[in-house]
A and B are shown apart, each in its own frame.
Chain A
Amino acid sequence: MAGYVLRRLGLSLLQLFGLVAVTFLLVHVLPGDPARLLLGPSASPAAVQNLDHQMGLDKPLGAQFTSFFGNSVQGHFGDSVAFGEPVGTLLSQRFAASALLLTYGLLIAFVLGIPLAIWAAVRPNRTADHAIRVFTTAGFAMPTFWLGLMLALIFGLQLHWFPSSGYDSGAGGILRTLTLPALALGLSLLAIVVRTLRGSLRAVLSEEYIEAAWARGLSGPRVIGRHAMRNAIMPTISVLAVNLGFLISGTVVIEQVFQIPGLGTLLVGAVQKRDYQVIQTLTLLAGFTVIVVGFLADIAQPLLDPRVRLRAENG
C-alpha cells in the first residue's frame, strides 16, 4: 500500500513540475515584453528597461525559471502591479469566498443529485427517469452565467429572498449571499452527478448480491442505501475529481455574475488589467488544486473499495 501511495505521489510531483514549467512559459512565449505591455506604448525605453530589471526579465531564461520555481515553492508570488498589493495578500483575502462557494455548490449538487439518481435508477425508463434526464441535461446545456442571472432575477430581485450580489462572511451571511450562486453552480453540476450515479446504480442493481439481499427480505432503503450505494458511489467520486476543472471554471464565472470578491473576480480583473503576476499565480493555484484533488481521489479508491486495496497492496 505504501508503495502505491509513493508512486502516486511521485506522479503528482511530476505533474506539479510540469504545471510550474508551463505556467512559467505562458508568460514568456507571449508576443511582446510584459514590462512594456504593463507600462503602455507611450512609456520611455528607460522606464521599460527599469521595470524589466526590476521584474528580473533581463536575466537568461534558465535563471528566470529557477528563481520562478524557487519563489513559487516558497509562496513568494511577488507584487501585483495592477492591484498594488502582494499577490499573497490578495489570495488570502479572497480565498475563503471562492472555497466556500465551490464547496456549497458541490454540496447542493450532491444533496439534489443523489435522491434524483436513486429515483431514476430504481424506476428506469418511466416518466420520472426521462423527466430527470431532460431536466439535468437542460441544466448542463445552459450557460452557467445565464442560469445565475436568472436565479438572481427571480429569487433575488423579484422575490427578494436573497441578495442578488455581494458576499458576507459568517454562517448567516454565507447562507444569505452564497445560496443563489451555489445553486447555479450545483445545477450545472447536477447533470454529471445524476447521470453517473444513475448509471452505476443501474449496473449495481442488476448484480446478484443485490438480488440476494432482496431475497433475504431486507428493506428497500437498506438494499439501496447500504448495499447498492457503497458500490455505486466510487465511480461518481472519481468522475467528480476529474471534473473539478469544470467546477472551478463555473466558479470563476458565477463570481462575476454575483460580484463575489473571490479568486474568480480577481482573475478576471487581472486579465482585464494584464496583471501577469496574478494570472500566473492563480493558474498555478488552480493547477495545484486539481493535482492535489486528483491525488486524494486516487488514494481514496483503495480506502473505499477493498478489491482495489488488494491490488494496490500487491502491485
Chain B
Amino acid sequence: MSVGLKETSSPLLVIQDLEISFPGPEPSVGVRSASLSVAPGTITGLVGESGSGKSLTCRSVNRLIPRPGEITNGHVAFDGRDVLAMSKKELRKFRATEVGMIFQDPFTALNPTLRIGKQLAETLRVNLGLSNAEAKARSIELLEQVDIPEAGKRYSSYPHELSGGMRQRVMIALAVAAGPKLLIADEATTALDVTTQAQILKLLLRLRDETGMAVLFVSHDMGVIAQICDGINVMYGGYVVEAGPADAILRSPQHPYTRALLQSIPSIEQARSGQRRAGIPGRPPERGEKLPGCPFVPRCRYATEPCTSVPMTLESAGPAQLTACPIKRFGTGRATVSSDQRQLAR
C-alpha cells in the first residue's frame, strides 16, 4: 500500500522542527530537530538507534515526555489541532480517545495487581462512559478482537498468568479500546521472539484495516519496519535524516545512515554465502554531545569537511522523498563511491 494514494487527504499528525531538551546541572538535547507526518490509516515507521531521539519524538504526540525533559521548540499538530497548546483537561481527553500508546516490555506494561478485565473495563467506563455491564461485555469483545483465546475466562486473569505475547495483545486492546485515530507503538515488538513478533505485526495490520487507525511504529529494527510500514522516517543523533514512502526508501536510500541500516538487515542469502553482515563502525553520539552539521559524519564513509558546517534540514530528494544528507543537498562530498572502497568495507 503506497503512501501516494493517501497523499490527497490532509495528514493526521504533523510534527515540525521538534526540539526536546533536558535542563539541569548537565543540560542536554534529546531531539534537535524532528519533522515527520503521519497520514490517516497508514503505518508510518520511525527508525533509529537507541539514543537517536525516536522515543522522545513519539512521546511528544501525547506529551508523555519523562521529566525533566521538555519541548523547547517546534509544533505538533493532530487533526489540525495544536497538541502543545492543549490544557490539562483537553490533553487527558485527547489521550483517552484519540491517541493510544503501546510499549516495549509486556512484563511491566500491565498493572500486576489488577485483573486484566478490570483494567480494560476501567478505560471503557472512565473514558467512554460505559456502564459496568456494557464495559465488561465490550472488554471481552476487545480481547477476542486481539486474538486472546477463551476471552471470557481470561477476563479474570492476572497479568502474570499470561504469556508475553498475550500480555502484549492485552496492552494493544487497552490502547485501542477507545478507538483512537493513532496508535503509537514504541518498540512494541522488540522484546518478543520472532514468531510472536510476526503475530503482533499481523494484528496491527488487521486493526489498521478494520478500523482505519493509523500507527506510528517506532523501532530500531529496520527489518521489522521494512515489513509493515507504508512510510519510513529515519532518525539519527536527534535529527530526522530521511523520510519517504517505504518502497522508495528501501530501494534508493538517500542518506548514508539509512543505507548502512539497510545493509545491516540479516538475510538468508548473506548467511548462506558466509558474508559478514556490514555493521556500522563507530558509535552513536551521546546525548550531551554537540555535533556541528550532520551528526553521522564520524561514521560516514562519504563525509567530507563541508558536511559539518551545513544546517540539518529535510529537503526534497525525489518524488515524496526527503533527505537531510548534506551531500545530496549541496553536493558537499563524493557523490559516488568506487567499487574497491565498497569491497574494503566488507
- Say if the two chains contact directly (CB < 8 Å): yes
Complex contact B101–A212 (CB within 8 A): yes
Q: CB-CB contacts of B161-192 with A at 8 A, as 1s and 0s?
A: 10000000001001100100000000000000
Complex contact B113–A211 (CB within 8 A): no
Tell me which of A50-58, A287-295, A302-310 binds B. A302-310
Say whether B108 faces chain A, with CB atoms less than 8 Å apart. Answer: yes
Q: CB-CB contacts of B99-134 with A at 8 A, as 1s and 0s?
A: 111011100111111100000001100110000000
B237 to chain A, nearest CB (A): 25
Complex contact B127–A216 (CB within 8 A): yes
Say whether B81 faces chain A, with CB atoms less than 8 Å apart. Answer: no
Contacts of B178 in A (CB 8 A): 216-217
Say whether A214 faces chain B, with CB atoms less than 8 Å apart. Answer: yes
- The residues in B between 67 and 126 inclusive whose CB is less than 8 angstroms from any CB of A are 92-97, 99-101, 103-105, 108-114, 122-123, 126
B155 to chain A, nearest CB (A): 15
- The residues in A between 217 and 245 inclusive whose CB is less than 8 angstroms from any CB of B are 217-219, 222, 226-227, 230-231
Which one of A208, A213, A307 contacts B108 once the chains associate, using CB atoms below 8 Å? A208
Contacts of A306 in B (CB 8 A): 112-113, 158, 160
Say whether A17 faces chain B, with CB atoms less than 8 Å apart. Answer: no
CA of A212 to CA of B62, assembled, Å: 11
Interface size class of B (residues with CB under 8 A): 20 to 34
Contacts of B64 in A (CB 8 A): 211, 214-215
Q: Which residue of B lies closest to A227 (CB)?
A: B111
**Residue of A208, A219, A222 with most chain B CB atoms under a 10 A cut-off:** A208
B43 to chain A, nearest CB (A): 19
B158 to chain A, nearest CB (A): 5
Complex contact B108–A216 (CB within 8 A): no
Complex contact B126–A222 (CB within 8 A): yes
Q: Which residue of A lies closest to B62 (CB)?
A: A215
Complex contact A212–B174 (CB within 8 A): yes
Q: Which residue of A lies closest to B101 (CB)?
A: A215
Complex contact A218–B126 (CB within 8 A): yes
Complex contact A219–B92 (CB within 8 A): yes
Contacts of A213 in B (CB 8 A): 111
Q: Which residue of A lies closest to B108 (CB)?
A: A208
Contacts of A161 in B (CB 8 A): none
Task: Decide yes or no: A208 and B113 within 8 Å by CB, A215-B175, A216-B123 being known contacts.
Answer: no
Say whether A209 faces chain B, with CB atoms less than 8 Å apart. Answer: yes
Contacts of B122 in A (CB 8 A): 218, 226
Task: Decide yes or no: A208 and B160 within 8 Å by CB, A216-B175, A222-B126, A305-B113 being known contacts.
Answer: no
Task: Decide yes or no: A307 and B171 within 8 Å by CB, A214-B64, A217-B94 being known contacts.
Answer: no
Say whether A85 faces chain B, with CB atoms less than 8 Å apart. Answer: no
The total of chain A residues at the interface (CB under 8 A) is 22
Say whether A207 faces chain B, with CB atoms less than 8 Å apart. Answer: yes
Complex contact A230–B62 (CB within 8 A): no
A149 to chain B, nearest CB (A): 43
CA of A305 to CA of B114, assembled, Å: 9
CA of A218 to CA of B103, assembled, Å: 17
CA of A246 to CA of B209, assembled, Å: 62
A207 to chain B, nearest CB (A): 6
Task: Decide yes or no: A209 and B160 within 8 Å by CB, A215-B175, A217-B97, A222-B126 being known contacts.
Answer: no
Which one of A208, A217, A305, A310 contacts B95 once the chains associate, using CB atoms below 8 Å? A217
Complex contact B111–A231 (CB within 8 A): yes
Q: CB-CB contacts of B317-334 with A at 8 A, as 1s and 0s?
A: 000000000000000000
**Residue of A216, A218, A226, A304 with most chain B CB atoms under a 10 A cut-off:** A216
Contacts of A215 in B (CB 8 A): 62, 64, 95, 99-101, 175
Q: Which residue of A lies closest to B115 (CB)?
A: A306
A211 to chain B, nearest CB (A): 6
Complex contact B92–A209 (CB within 8 A): no
Q: Which residue of A lies closest to B92 (CB)?
A: A217
Complex contact A214–B108 (CB within 8 A): no
Contacts of A216 in B (CB 8 A): 95-96, 100, 123, 127, 174-175, 178
CA of A111 to CA of B77, assembled, Å: 44
A199 to chain B, nearest CB (A): 18
CA of A212 to CA of B177, assembled, Å: 13
CA of A217 to CA of B175, assembled, Å: 10
**Residue of A214, A231, A306 with most chain B CB atoms under a 10 A cut-off:** A306
Complex contact B126–A209 (CB within 8 A): no
Task: Decide yes or no: A208 and B112 within 8 Å by CB, A216-B175, A217-B93 being known contacts.
Answer: no
Q: Which residue of A lies closest to B118 (CB)?
A: A226
CA of A230 to CA of B171, assembled, Å: 19
Complex contact A212–B96 (CB within 8 A): no
Known: A227-B114, A304-B113, A307-B113. 14 other contacts (CB 8 A): A208-B103, A208-B104, A208-B108, A209-B111, A212-B175, A215-B99, A216-B100, A216-B175, A216-B178, A217-B96, A218-B127, A227-B111, A230-B111, A307-B112
Q: List 12 A-B contacts (CB under 8 A).
A: A208-B104, A212-B101, A212-B109, A212-B175, A215-B95, A216-B96, A216-B123, A217-B95, A218-B92, A306-B158, A307-B113, A310-B160
- Which residues in B have some Cβ–Cβ distance to A below 8 Å? 62, 64, 92-97, 99-101, 103-105, 108-114, 122-123, 126-127, 158, 160-161, 171, 174-175, 178
Rank and list the top 10 A-B pairs by shortest CB-CB distance, nearest first. Answer: A217-B96, A217-B95, A215-B101, A208-B108, A306-B158, A230-B113, A209-B111, A208-B109, A217-B92, A208-B103
